[in-house]
Amino acid sequence: MAKAKINLFIFLITFVVLTITSILWKHILWNTLFYIPGTPHDATSINIRIEMCNKSISMKSIIPIKSSSHFAVSAFIDHRINKAIRVISIIKRNSTQPLYCLYCNNDKVCKFTKAEIDIHSDHFGFPFGASDVLCRGDNTQYATHIALTANAADEVSDINNLDFLPIKNRVSKESFKYNFTICISNLFGDYNNVLQFVQTMEMYKLLGVQRVVIYNTSSGSDLNKLLQHYEREGILEIVPWPIDQFLNPSAGWDITIHPGDLHYYGQLVTLNECIYRQMYQSKYVLLNDIDEIIMPYKYANLPLLMEDLRQKHKSANVFLIENHIFPKTQFEDSGRFVLPEWKNIPGINIMEHIYREPDRKNIYNPTKMIVNPRNMMQTSVHSSLKHTGDVYRVPLDVCRIVHVRTPLQGSLTKEQLFVDTRVWEFQQELIPNINKALQLSGLLI
Ligand SMILES: *[C@@H]1O[C@H](CO)[C@@H](O)[C@H](O)[C@H]1NC(C)=O
Ligand SMILES: *[C@@H]1O[C@H](CO)[C@@H](O)[C@H](O)[C@H]1NC(C)=O
Ligand SMILES: *[C@@H]1O[C@H](CO)[C@@H](O)[C@H](O)[C@H]1NC(C)=O
Ligand SMILES: *[C@@H]1O[C@H](CO)[C@@H](O)[C@H](O)[C@H]1NC(C)=O
């Protein structure tokens, strides 16, 4: 009887010791230098210790992936998929090849794993497409930086020459710095539409927007002054987007009209990057162009609009807002907003363009979106590609886009257009705010 008890006791002690050892061993493995030479290419995960002190972590927003035609853009922990690392990337669609992730923590301990590549379904037929490169493996949540490569782990020389990206969104938050952020995909060419831009920015501020993110390939010189002003003010985040240094980007969405390597200066890449960048910064993200105002009509501002939409459509996380064209060729007659101080400011004065085109028969108005970024996986321009929750198409009397631009129905006369003076309702605050911004930018003396 006593002997049986002693045996049981010894068994239990052995069990506990073994368990503790195995837990410690696992910990030691993750923290110890070791590199397995000649590991087969399909190794799922091996550990490597590298000297990171001399490596700079790239602050560039586009980096070529070694030994491939592809590019890495930004890396994020995705808390929704077991804390895997998602690297927003640009993949040459007809040259896919295995890619590998080398992710490291601050203690210079790295893991090398094979990546999963997910090319987004929307690429408009261009050779390069917005993609996710997913790196799954142990301890991804502790990783601070990551490099992608097309070379397998046994090609050691490569490992010492990799460019690393910092890993963002390492902490998931439930309260946010901003309620409304706008992601404006791309600024390129000599875009110098200062007046429309300053009017749009000031309009958005009155509507409740706290943050605007712009991807800058290039801009006109006057607009650049305005951008610098808003950056100083703190509302604008400018992400350098030198896509033209790596690819021949298309200036449009139709490859037959605007040939190139990548759709519209990489708009699909930057919109996705922006959603992840803002995931734990902003409650809502608005995805629209630089010349579009997502305008509530039934409510005074965006907070009131979203409060109502959320209450009535609890399961919706993607809100589609219809685009409506206000032709820049039709001017209102009184000239009351032809202000002398704006005479020398380049660009369109949206307050003069109050005529809205009617819906076209059998044509669905394209939409832009207000989204909850934490429910988004992948987005396109006019709709979401992957998300959780429902999509709600917001009726045009509740909210629609004021888009002053070249007409789509250019043959229509004023009498055939709707008069829509919503922007005028903000004039009392809007005009002084616009002038203040122009002054602070040095564009108005
Ligand atoms: C790292 O840089 C230091 C000086 O900055 C140098 O002495 C050292 O050799 C470098 N190490 C490697 C591995 O390049
Ligand atoms: C991939 O597309 C490019 C044109 O973008 C073409 O020149 C090349 O031959 C294609 N490669 C393959 C493997 O199909
Ligand atoms: C966001 O909205 C909440 C109310 O819903 C408000 O208390 C908070 O101050 C707002 N945050 C900002 C940055 O305006
Ligand atoms: C936008 O990018 C261009 C080209 O790199 C640069 O010259 C300009 O200063 C940038 N503007 C801002 C406001 O960062």
What digits encode the pLDDT tens for the residues 132-147? 999 999 999 999 999 9
Determine the residue type at 54. Answer: N
Q: Which residue, by CA, sits nearest to atom 10 of ligand 1?
A: 54
Q: Give pLDDT, residue 40.
A: 40
For Cα atoms 180, 185, 186, give the angle at the middle one, nearest 5 degrees. 140
Q: Give pLDDT, residue 46.
A: 75
> What is the average per-residue pLDDT within 407-430?
97
Tell how far the Cα of 148 is from the centroid of ligand 1, in angstroms.
23
Taking the alpha carbons at both ends of the chain, their separation in whole angstroms is: 100
Q: Give pLDDT, residue 32.
A: 37
Res. 54: pLDDT tops 60:
no
**Chain segment 58-102, per-residue pLDDT in tens:** 778 899 998 999 999 999 999 999 999 999 999 999 999 999 999
pLDDT interval class at 29 (50, 70, 90): very low
Q: Which residue, by CA, sits nearest to atom 7 of ligand 4?
A: 218
**Chain segment 350-406, per-residue pLDDT in tens:** 999 999 999 998 999 999 999 999 999 999 999 999 999 999 999 999 999 999 999
Is residue 242 within 8 A of residue 137, CB to CB? The reply is: no
> What is the average per-residue pLDDT within 258-266?
97
Residue 33 token pair: 């230098």
Kindly report the pTM of this predicted structure: 0.88
Tell how far the Cα of 248 is from the centroid of ligand 2, in angstroms.
15
Which ligand 3 atom is nearest residue 178's CA? Answer: 13
* Matching residue, tokens 């992400």: 239
**Chain segment 284-311, per-residue pLDDT in tens:** 999 999 999 999 999 999 999 999 999 9
Least confident of 158-162, 252-256, 433-437: 158-162
Res. 443: pLDDT tops 50:
yes
> What is the average per-residue pLDDT within 100-116?
90
Q: Give pLDDT, residue 114.
A: 94
| CA 378 – CA 82 distance, rounded (Å) | 17
Q: Give pLDDT, residue 44.
A: 59
Which ligand 1 atom is nearest residue 51's CA? Answer: 13
Whether 178-440 and 41-168 are alike in CATH topology: the answer is: no
Q: Give pLDDT, residue 157.
A: 63
Indicate the average pLDDT of the chain: 91
Ligand 3, pocket residues at CB < 6 Å: 178-179, 210
Pocket of ligand 2 contains residue 54 by CB under 6 Å = no
In 13-78, the DSSP E strands lie at: 45-49, 63-64, 71-78
**Ligand 1 test: best mutation among 54, 55, 160, most atoms within 8 Å of CB?**
54
**Chain segment 194-224, per-residue pLDDT in tens:** 999 999 999 999 999 999 999 999 999 999 9
pLDDT interval class at 48 (50, 70, 90): confident
Res. 21: pLDDT tops 70:
no
Res. 33: pLDDT tops 80:
no
CATH 3.40.30 assigned to 178-440: no
Give the residue, 53 or 332, on which the prediction is more confident.
332
DSSP 398: T
User: Helix-strand-coil percent breakdown of the chain, rounded to 5?
Assistant: 30, 30, 40
- Which sequence spans correspond to the domains of the chain? 41-168, 178-440
Q: Which residue, by CA, sits nearest to atom 14 of ligand 4?
A: 238
| CA 156 – CA 312 distance, rounded (Å) | 57
Q: Give pLDDT, residue 10.
A: 79
Q: Give pLDDT, residue 60.
A: 85
The CATH number corresponding to 41-168 among 2.30.30, 3.40.720, 2.60.40, 1.10.287 equals: 2.60.40
Which helix (H) or strand (E) element contains residue 268? helix 267-277
Tell how far the Cα of 54 is from the centroid of ligand 1, in angstroms.
6
Q: Give pLDDT, residue 282.
A: 98
Long-range contacts at 152-157 (CB < 8 A, ≥ 24 apart): 152/39, 152/41, 152/43, 152/98, 152/100, 153/36, 153/39, 153/41, 153/43, 153/46, 153/48, 153/100, 153/112, 154/37, 154/38, 154/39, 154/41, 156/35, 156/37
Buried b (16+ CB within 10 A) or exposed e, 293-318: bbbbeebeebbebbeebeeeeeebbb
